[in-house]
Amino acid sequence: MTHVLLVAGALIFEPDWDQAGADCVPERLARRLTRARRTWQALDASWSDGAAHLEWLARAFRVSGDPPGRAPACAPYSWRAAGGQDGSDAPAGDIWFCDPVHLSLEPERTVLAPIDSPPLTDTEARELFDEAADSARSHGAELRRAANGWYLFMDPPWELQTTALQAAVGASVEARLPQGRHATQWRRLLNEVQMRWHASRVSREREARGQQAANGLWLHGGGAWRALAPSRFARVHSDEPLVLGWQQAARAASDAGLPSDTLTVWPHLFEPYWRRDWRGWAAAWARLDSEVESLLQAARSGRDGRVELVACGRRAAATFALDRSAAVLPWRRRALHDDLLETVQ
């Protein structure tokens, strides 16, 4: 049995390493990583470029795009796990994530950010949602909410290539906007929502207080729900509805195969990673050190045979086999810089 610890935002590039510093990872964890057996995996799908852990998860749960090469369906699985209908009374067609975001104009580019300075209140979110839902209906779509997530239902389905929100945050959006046959229809709907929100009471009051305004919607992860092939994981620890939804879709098939592995999705490095907050990134590594030691203690007691830490970056993942032998091989040690640097392998 293996306990897999998936860590988003753990691999960085050379310029970031110079800022993060060589002591960003606690010595105990650094020693385990540099002495562990390591394998490298390229994860260069365009839909997850910037958040390679998403493609790792899609591969782990055997979720593929339709046709192949397109982003896999994400939103319908999240919708069910978040408390949406089981599908029996949901509208026909595809389901998409449709997240309110803040778009800021910078010299020569537009940058996407989540609305967290401060987050929308329940009242603000409800008012903006109602405005957007009204526009969606006029364009033949339906906007719904579940567990604070916004989902757009389209029938007939739209053909679009999109980028995951986590892959787009902190980045220029120009090259990541939805493309495809129905891109023009989406832009028309988005423009109408943006105009309504610009004139809304919520936006005026937030701007007067110097707060982030919701001035855009990010469409991504669309598709239709279908059962998934068995996965290797009997247990999944995550707060993400998407991950839980994929697990649920694979669970029925997995029961017959008696999977035995455990997956923990550890998200706490990712926000400081994309914000380039290297002080916060180092603090998250300190928290991760405690998590790793707890898992290794469980392995030594026999509850899990071994522990693997999967460190993800923008387009790659490095898997470290932190089994019990890793800490007792002092002659096998690499530089931490080499282990956490994202390069072409």
Q: How does pLDDT run across 122-166, given as a tens digit for each residue?
A: 999 999 999 999 999 999 999 999 988 999 999 899 999 999 999
**For position 260, what pLDDT does the model report?**
82
**Contacts of the segment 290-296: beta carbons below 8 A, 24+ positions apart:** 291/5, 291/264, 291/266, 292/5, 292/29, 292/32, 292/322, 293/28, 295/3, 295/5, 295/264, 295/322, 296/322, 296/324
Query: Residue 306: pLDDT above 60?
Result: yes
For residues 282 and 24, is the Cβ–Cβ distance under 8 A? yes
Q: What percent of the chain has pLDDT over 90?
A: 77
Query: Residue 215: pLDDT above 90?
Result: yes
For residues 312 and 10, is the Cβ–Cβ distance under 8 A? yes
How far apart CA 302 and CA 83 sit, in angstroms, is 35
Residue 108's pLDDT band, with cuts at 50, 70 and 90, is confident
- Residue-wise pLDDT for 260-270, tens only, equals 899 999 999 99
| In the chain, where the domains are located | 2-63+228-340, 88-223
Query: Residue 69: pLDDT above 80?
Result: no
Query: Residue 1: pLDDT above 90?
Result: no
Query: Residue 214: pLDDT above 70?
Result: yes
Query: Residue 317: pLDDT above 70?
Result: yes
**For position 93, what pLDDT does the model report?**
78
